[in-house]
Amino acid sequence: MNELEAYAYMNKCKISAAGFIIGITTLLSPSESAAVPATKVFLNGVPTPVFFNDGDSFRVLAGKHKGTRARLKGFNTLETYGPVHGWGKWHYKELYINSKMGTLNARNGIWHCSSKDFKKDGYGRILWHCPGLAHDQVWRGYAHAMTVTDEAADARLIAAQTDAIKNRRGMWARGVPDYILTSLHSFDEAYAKPGKNYNRVVSTRDGHSAKWLHSDVYPECSEVCRTARKVSDEAIAQATKRLSSDNESILTGFDPTRLERLIGDFARLGYWPKIKDNDTVQKLLESTMPLYETEGVFGNAPFENDSCNIYVKFKRRYGNTRAECLR
């Protein structure tokens, strides 16, 4: 992405020339690591300097938690290591700029974050709750609401996202997929296991995750797309009502909203994640959903590419050995 391309994008989005060009040039520069801009964040009420390496994570620069890394809960910004996200009419490089704008937005504020138990994610990062930052990023279209389960995201963030989508702000300006493919894991990676290797897809309706289990091996820089089809909310609601009525004893006590969400995933994606806490409901869905499909309950819309991602292994995303498609 050169400055002329950035300037054209700036004009299209009506962004300040000085702030955008300087910020993007700095962020895309190979010498980014030479300067570490500090942002004031209150961690459990204590003012602390941190470095935002992207719009949803940071490294603590001083104080009690110095040297620790943080992952912010409830939302997700697009990857900043290269132009890897694509959907709608967006070019990969355009959504790459959106991810960088999310980083700039995070660095430009003063935020309040809290953690009660200092729980860590799978990468060893402390999970912090930063409600003001989360809402601001999502409302501006620099991030989307997200959970890592099949439960919906925070209602306040979904409301902010709905408003951003309605007004076509940020990442929603040139298309709104039903699901965003946020991460890829090739089956030849060291930790991949049969039945557990997955790509994460996140609903743009309510932010829940629907793990895409697979055993595919992805070549470096290959484009991977998640297919989906258009199914109306009404059709899914009717299918949920029917299933609940026919299986009242089995579904007693099971959250009906969650059930509708799972049926929606099957209808739109053609699969649903394993329900770890209820094998009985899992088996019920496995036996009934194919029948509903055969009956045409979900319509006959074709499966088409919904959102895509460029695959690069983690060790090839940064530094002098980064993959060619990221340069």
Which pLDDT does position 133 carry in this prediction?
A: 98
* Spatial separation of the C-alpha atoms in residues 218 and 197, rounded to whole Å: 13
Are residues 166 and 262 both part of a single domain? no
Show the domain range for 93. Answer: 36-179
Rounded-to-integer distance, Cα 76 and Cα 56, Å:
6
Is position 99 within any domain?
yes
288 in a structural domain: yes
Q: Alpha-carbon distance 182 to 177, whole Å?
A: 12
Whether residue 116 is found in the same domain as residue 238: no
Q: What sign for the dihedral angle of Cα 20, 133, 157, 211?
A: positive
Which among 157, 179, 201 is the end of a domain?
A: 179
Percent of the chain with pLDDT over 70: 89
This model's pTM is above 0.95: no
Averaged pLDDT, 170-190: 97
- Does one domain contain both 104 and 238? no
- For residue 180, the surrounding DSSP H or E stretch is strand 179-183
Residue 267 lies in a domain: yes
Residues 67 and 174 in one domain: yes
- Overall domain count for the chain: 2
- Asked if residue 55 and residue 140 are part of one domain, the reply reads yes
Q: Is 318 left (phi over 0), alpha (psi -120 to 50) or beta?
A: beta
Mean pLDDT of 61-84: 97
Query: Do 245 and 110 share a structural domain?
Result: no
Same domain, 154 and 249: no
Would you say residue 16 has pLDDT above 60? no
Sheet of 209-213: strand order equals: 179-183, 198-203, 209-213
Nearest-5° Cα angle at 195, 296 to 76: 80
pLDDT at 175: 97
Residue 35: which pLDDT band, with cuts at 50, 70 and 90? low
Q: Compute the average pLDDT of residues 31-42.
A: 75
Query: Given a cut of 50, is residue 118 above it in pLDDT?
Result: yes
Q: Is 306 a domain residue?
A: no
In this prediction, residues 88-100 reach a mean pLDDT of 97
| Residue 28 or residue 225, greater confidence | 225
Does a structural domain hold residue 327? no
